[in-house]
Amino acid sequence: MARVFSTNFTTVLNSDVIRYFFLIELNLNNDYYFTSYPSDIPYNGNIYISDGGVFEVDSPRFSSVVDREAYKIVLTDIDNTMSTEFSAGVIGAPIKVMVGLIDSNNQPLLSAGDIVEIYSGFVDKPEISIDWETKYASIEGTSPMSDLDRINLTMVSKDGMDSINTNDTSFDSIYEDSETILKWGKV
């Protein structure tokens, strides 16, 4: 299914100069809505604030190979809001980043067909860094391939299955401390 963009969006894309802004939604312990546009933007029932300190947003990446490239957002954290959030625990919290275009009249295009979601994932690595001039909150989102490194341990025993589902009897005849040697491949 092809995405349909508005006429205004297509006009801006076909122009010589393309100006854009980001809308960032962080659903941490509290919900935050930030924009890189110079003034607040109402979108989809929320107000995306412009003084939220959007410092850096990764560009969307397209890859033809399976990789573990993560997505990164950097915010200034002068008022310690993100530091407090990070201390309370944010790993696994949802992140969404959208991009919109600015028309020739310097107005953001905010119709449903004008905003493009470029990243949706979860907080994987939050960190605070301080240099001589300011304090930054860096939020690294999970890579779509991050689950490739996940290790799921399942105990192959009656007790192991009972910890998952007490009604499942599929492992009832497996004896603990018994060993079976299987020949694998050609014999």
Is there a domain that residue 86 lies in?
yes
- Angle (CA) 3-97-120 rounded to 5° is 75
- Answer whether residue 135 is part of any domain: yes
Amino acid at the residue 110: L
- Residue 183 resides in a domain: no
Question: Based on the structure, what is the number of domains in the chain?
Answer: 1
Rounded Cα–Cα distance for residues 162 and 56 (Å): 48
Strand partners, 122: 94
**Which residue in the block uniquely carries the two structure tokens 């300011």?**
134
Are residues 156 and 89 in contact, defined by beta-carbon separation less than 8 angstroms?
no
Phi, psi at 84, each rounded to 5°: -65, -45
How high is the mean pLDDT of the chain?
81
The answer to whether residue 166 is domain-embedded is no
Residue 123 scores a pLDDT above 60: yes
Contacts of 155 (CB under 8 A, 6+ apart): 161, 163
Range of the structural domain that residue 103 is part of? 7-149
Model confidence at 182: pLDDT above 70: yes
Q: Name 48's Cβ contacts closer than 8 Å, sequence gap at least 6.
A: 23, 24, 33, 34, 35, 37, 40, 41, 42
Structure confidence by residue, pLDDT tens digits, 143-171: 655 555 555 666 667 677 777 778 887 77
Task: Identify whether 174 is part of a domain.
Answer: no
Does 168 fall in a domain? Answer: no
**Is residue 44 a part of any domain in this protein?**
yes
Q: For tokens 């490194």, what's the residue?
A: 149
pTM of the model: 0.70
Q: Is residue 19 part of a domain?
A: yes
Tens digits of residue pLDDT in 26-65: 999 999 999 999 999 999 999 999 887 888 787 765 555 5
- Angstrom distances, CA of residue 52 to CA of 58, 61, 78, 112, 166: 17, 24, 10, 23, 49
